[in-house]
Homo-oligomer: A and B are copies of this chain.
Amino acid sequence: MDKTNPGNFFEDFRLGFEIRHATPRTVTQGDIALYGALYGSRFALASSAEFAAACGLAPQPVDDLLVFHLVFGKSVPDISVNAVANLGYAEGRFGAPVHAGDTLIATSKVIGLKENANRQTGIVYVRTRGFNQQGETVLDFIRWVMVRKRDPHSEPPPAEVPETAPFVPAQNLLLPMGISFAHYDPVLSGSPHLWEDYRPGERIDHVDGMTIEEAEHMLATRLYQNTAKVHFNQHTEAGGRFGRRLVYGGHIISLARALSFNGLGNAVKIAAINGGRHVAPCFAGDTIYAWSRIEEAWDIPGRPDLGALRIKTFAAKDHACGDFPGDTDAHPQLVLEFDYTVLMPRRF
């Protein structure tokens, strides 16, 4: 009996199947420190328990993207160990805040399947949910990946492609219980720019760049217990597609988010992940830059203290973003488009 897990191939997925993922994971204060050291994030809510408490959030929630990576990581052994590419995300929505001490588990439901024309691969659509130890949903999102078939000649299932919303509408966002920006201190947070100061169409160059080291992206990816082989094994990758270990796409999302502090310092809470596309692969030695475009600004009814912004953050490698690469057309250095919604304090 073979004891090692070969992962699922396209043929192994059935529409409607629900998979309970392995490896429950207790989030600790160690994760907070390590996540900070990996990205240098300075958003005040995830940096300071006192600041969080002043925003009605005690105990302090951990960084939203740390939650995303942990939940995503759980799904990898079942969903994407045999994936060729991580194609997209949609309808990501954060629920109950996650605190040090919480234990996360995850499930995925297969919501779409479509064989590719070459019959070598197929696209698998799943809705992945992360839960805390009380069974509360902390995050759910749709992602779709291109997965190898075990046998190109096997019969495909009937094609089923789910409709996904282009973004999570404002009325569906979940506000963490108790959150209030009525006493928000924009000096402490590091930015004077509040919700009213951003206009749809506005573009912000985040200026700074961050170079990636092998040790860093591997530490991060292991922290998330993400087991995708391409990130870790130079002995194999030397003979692979790129000759090098591939950086986990989520690492680029977190780098871009940390860089975006310079210009979006009060975007302290991510409420939704509307979509994302890893436009090109990244490798150790690449320097990541980012810029953002404000897509929409939404009132939250009954909330004079906060509003929502839908933002698209673009990351490029080895290319400073003062020219807003990817804004109007494809750009050879573009590596990421990430569409998300944040909560931001208003003038009160």
Q: How many residues of A contact B (CB 8 A)?
A: 79
- Cβ contact within 8 Å between A49 and B211: no
Q: In the bound complex, do residue A37 and residue B5 qualify as a contact, i.e. CB atoms below 8 Å apart? A: no
Q: In the complex, what's the smallest C-beta–C-beta distance from A76 to chain B, in angstroms?
A: 11
Q: Is the CB of A44 within 8 A of B31?
A: no
Residues of B within 8 A of A34 (CB): 30, 33-34, 37
Residue in contact with A23 in the complex, picked from B33, B42, B198, B318, CB distance below 8 Å: B42
User: A200 interface residue, CB < 8 Å from B?
Assistant: no
- A341 adjacent to chain B (CB < 8 Å): no
From residue 19 to 63 of chain A, which have CB atoms closer than 8 A to chain B? 20, 22-26, 28-34, 36-40, 42, 44, 47-51, 60
Are A211 and B235 neighbours in the complex by a CB distance under 8 Å? yes
Q: Which of A112-120, A141-149, A151-159, A222-230 contacts B (4 or more CB under 8 A)?
A: A222-230
Known: A23-B44, A188-B24. Contact between A38 and B219, CB under 8 A?
Answer: yes
Bound Cα distance from A235 to B288, whole angstroms: 9
Chain B residue nearest to A6 in the complex (CB): B207
- Whether the Cβ atoms of B188 and A20 lie closer than 8 Å is yes
> Taking the full assembly, how many copies of this chain does it contain?
3
List the B side residues contacting A221 at CB < 8 Å. Answer: 40
Given A23-B188, A211-B234, A227-B40 contact (CB < 8 Å): yes
CB of A49 within 8 A of CB of B209, answer no
- Interface 9-residue window, one of A100-108, A160-168, A175-183, A272-280: A100-108
Residues from chain B with a CB closer than 8 A to the CB of A71 are none
Q: List, in ascending order, chain B residues with CB within 8 A of A265's CB.
A: 5, 22
Task: Give chain B residues whose Cβ lies under 8 Å from the Cβ of A326.
Answer: none
Report yes or no: B233 in contact with A210, Cβ–Cβ below 8 A: yes
Candidates B33, B227, B234, B263; contact of A287 at CB < 8 Å: B234
Residues in B neighbouring A1, C-beta threshold 8 A: 193, 197
Beta-carbon contact of A207 and B287 below 8 Å:
no
Provide the residues of chain B in CB contact with A190, threshold 8 Å. Answer: 5, 22-23, 77
Q: How far is the CB of A214 from chain B (nearest CB, A)?
A: 5
Is A213 touching B211 in the complex (CB atoms < 8 A)? no
Give the residues in chain B near A222, CB-CB below 8 Å: 36-40
Say whether A296 faces chain B, with CB atoms less than 8 Å apart: no
**Measured between alpha carbons, how far is A26 from B32 in the docked complex, in Å?**
10
Contact partners of A30 in chain B: CB under 8 A: 28-34
Q: Are A47 and B60 in contact (CB under 8 A)?
A: no
Q: In the bound complex, do residue A188 and residue B225 qualify as a contact, i.e. CB atoms below 8 Å apart? A: no
In the complex, the answer to whether A225 meets B36 with C-beta atoms within 8 Å is yes
Q: Does A11 contact B (CB under 8 A)?
A: no
Cβ of A198 to closest chain B Cβ, rounded Å: 8
Partner of A233, one of B47, B208, B223, B236: B208
A252 in the interface (beta carbon within 8 A): no
Cβ-based interface call for A339 (8 A): no
- The 7 A-B pairs with the shortest beta carbon distances in the complex, nearest first, are A30-B33, A22-B190, A40-B222, A235-B287, A24-B48, A215-B215, A28-B29
